Amino acid sequence: MISDYIKKGPDRAPTRSLLYGIGLTEKEIDQPLIGIVNSQNEIVAGHIHLDNIAQAAKIGVAMAGGTPIEFPAIGICDGIAMGHKGMKYPLASRELIADSIEAMAVAHGFDGLVLIPNCDKIVPGMMMAAARLNIPCIVVSGGPMYAGRYNGKTLDYSSCIESVASFKAGIITEDELEHITKEACPGCGSCSGLFTANSMNCMAEALGLALPYNGTIPAYSGARVALGKQAGMRIVDMVKNGLKPRDILTKEAFINAITVDMGMAGSTNTVLHLPAIAHEAGIELELDLFDEISRKTPCLTKLSPSGHHHMEDLHLAGGIPALMKELSKKGLLNLNIITATGKTVGENIKNAEIRDKSVIRTIEKPYRSEGGLAILRGNLAPDGAVVKAAAVAEEMMQHEGPAKVFNSEEEAIEAIFNNKIKKGDVVVIRYEGPKGGPGMREMLSPTSAIAGMGLDKDVALITDGRFSGATRGASIGHVSPEAMEGGPIALIQDGDIISIDITNRRLDVKLSETELEERKKNWKSPEPKVKTGYLARYARMVTSANTGAVLK
């Protein structure tokens, strides 16, 4: 066992003395040492209950003959960080999470890890650590919260943030806004739509690093606690059998995950996180692979923000196993690869079935013939850009309009709320990329403002930043190269005509190459927005969004 190097033999007597000091018995020290990586805290709704999952995992580990030892990981709530300087930190925290788990696991000689995340960057951060360490690891997430209800309507976090714009536009009263605020997030769990947290929890399942139904079992349920116990038992078997993350995280597994992502119309942030996890496993996922898979994968679900269903509906309809079973009927999945269950994908989904065809459609009657995400290229995004096509109104799939250019998210939000954005405009928000932000802030506030003011079928938004999984509308992010690197988005001026053709995967500005080259000669890189601390170091090392915004 890995832990032998910290606990076996006369030379390790000092280490054993410290283990006795924390209350371990000889038998416990002799057993596999399993780290329980718990990202519980009291500020994040998705994480406040994770002690329950950690306790269940510990019980499972002990039942199977292992010794559970808990240690923490940080977790930032994107929703609380949204719309202010705090949003610079969530993506950057992904690297901190991976680094800190690596440090704890190697320094203390753990034989395996149970990873307990739930929200946006914590899930990929933990999976990045698993791929990097390549010691037996299993993910068991905290699960989604239930959707809220108000006046007969289903609510979620995106309903609340869009309602702010509706209030400012005079569509609803302040009293109605407060009622929605109190009901939109009714309890613990990751936000109830198919936003980034739930997308990534489903990706952990589709990759095979988590047990079936990890992505959809509601947070507040006995089944979620039982899943924690099952994960605890499985990790001990994985240690004994030598089943490691890189045995599971093969190129075929990532192709499966991307296929599931397209089939369910997951968050655009998956295009950042899956390549970053793959990078840690020594696998390159090119941006065009996402579009290639999207072109041939039908979209079978329409969950918020693309539609009105939520994660609880997806779970009751059969969850990710049922979705995968349906996709497999078209030969879109590799069923022979191993997963954390010790079984193959095919064995895991063998008995799955759709229980509600209004939530998960059949392969013959999809919501869309293509996947939920699209990769755009053109003279405005030579290295690519990403859009959640499934959440775009049909009339905005092709759009041309004059640019309204802003050098920060705050400037854009002020213009939107002050009615400076008109029908037909294309809002351009730049210097918000991985380097420029720094930290590539999510643009849910401006996109929700546009939607809440009833302009989502008339106004497009493009940015070198990114979007929340809750974003809907013609919102195109990850524009690469970013403005801070002198990409074409840095050269756009007010009034330039932007051409968007999602159907044909194009994003262009109607300027000649000569004009763009002339503007590039006169462009000067602005001063960094942050010059000290972690974000300054992050900005110096982070790569472009099209490569997953990894550190090099």
* Mean pLDDT, range 420-437, rounded to an integer: 95
Asked if the model's pLDDT at residue 178 lies above 90, the reply is yes
pLDDT for 109 equals 97
Q: Is 99 helix (H, G, I), strand (E, B) or coil?
A: helix
Q: Which residue has the higher pLDDT, 467 or 177?
A: 177
Tell me what pLDDT residue 419 has.
Answer: 87
Helix residue spans in 187-221 (DSSP H): 196-207
Measure the CA–CA gap between 455 and 43, rounded to whole angstroms: 33
**Residue listed under structure tokens 């269940």:** 56
Residues 6+ apart with CB under 8 A from 261: 199, 202, 203, 206, 270, 274, 371, 372, 373
User: Residue 482 has what pLDDT?
Assistant: 97
| 300 touches 320 (CB < 8 A) | no
Contacts of 274 (CB under 8 A, 6+ apart): 124, 203, 254, 257, 258, 261, 285, 548
Which residues pair with residue 99 across a beta bridge?
A: none
**CB neighbourhood size of 244 (10 A):** 18
Q: Are strands 426-429 and 398-406 parallel, antiparallel or unpaired?
A: parallel
Q: Which two tokens stand for residue 115?
A: 């990873």
The phi, psi pair for 390, rounded to 5°, reads: -65, -20
What is the per-residue pLDDT for 445? Answer: 82
Residues 302-311 pLDDT 10s: 999 889 999 9
Orientation of helix 157-168 relative to helix 444-452, angle to 10° = 60
Q: What is the identity of the amino acid at 399?
A: H
Could you tell me whether strands 398-406 and 497-501 are parallel, antiparallel, or unpaired per DSSP bridges? antiparallel
As a whole number of angstroms, the distance between CA 511 and CA 141 comes to 47
pLDDT digits 0-9 by tens, 72-109: 999 999 999 988 899 999 999 999 999 999 999 999 99
Residue located via tokens 């989502």: 456
Q: Would you state the pLDDT for residue 455?
A: 83
pLDDT of 254:
98
The encoded tokens of residue 166 equal: 């509706």
264 pLDDT tier (thresholds 50, 70, 90): very high
Q: How far is CA 143 from CA 200, 219, 256, in A?
A: 11, 4, 21
Number of helices (H) and strands (E), helices first, in the chain?
22, 14
Distance CA 116, CA 54 (A): 7
pLDDT at 443: 85
- Per DSSP bridges, beta strands 381-387 and 398-406 are unpaired
Please name the amino acid found at residue 175: D
Region 333-341: mean pLDDT is 98
Among 224-228, 294-298, 388-392, where is mean pLDDT lowest? 388-392
Q: How far is CA 522 from the centre of its chain?
A: 37
Determine the pLDDT at residue 447.
Answer: 85
471 with 534: CB under 8 angstroms? no
Q: What residue ranges in 334-483 does DSSP mark as E strands? A: 374-378, 381-387, 398-406, 426-429, 460-463, 475-480
Query: What is the tens place of the pLDDT at every residue in 487-509?
Result: 999 999 999 999 999 999 999 99
Structure tokens at 382: 């030579």
Beta pairing partners, 70 = 36
One-character DSSP codes across 489-533: GGG--TTPEEEEETTTTEEEES--HHHHHHHHHH--PPPPS--SH
pLDDT at 165: 82
Alpha helices in 34-121 (DSSP H): 50-63, 78-81, 90-108
Q: Rounded to the nearest 5°, which phi and psi values hold at 378? A: 160, -170
Is residue 266 scored above 90 in pLDDT? yes
C-alpha 294/C-alpha 259 separation (Å) is: 7
- Chain segment 110-131, per-residue pLDDT in tens: 999 999 999 999 999 999 999 9
Average pLDDT, the chain: 95
**What percent helix, strand, coil does the chain show, rounded to 5?**
45, 15, 40
Supply 173's token pair.
């009263």
Query: Which amino acids are annotated catalytic?
Result: 468
Q: Are 257 and 274 in contact (CB under 8 A)?
A: yes
pLDDT exceeds 80 at position 138: yes
Residue entry with tokens 């609880």: 312
Tell me, what's the pLDDT at 104?
Answer: 98
For 535, the 3-state DSSP assignment is helix
pLDDT tens, position by position, 439-482: 999 888 888 888 877 888 899 999 999 988 777 889 999 999 99
Question: Which residues fall within 8 angstroms of residue 521, CB to CB, at 6 or more apart?
Answer: none
Q: Residue 515: left if φ>0, alpha if ψ -120 to 50, beta else—which one?
A: alpha
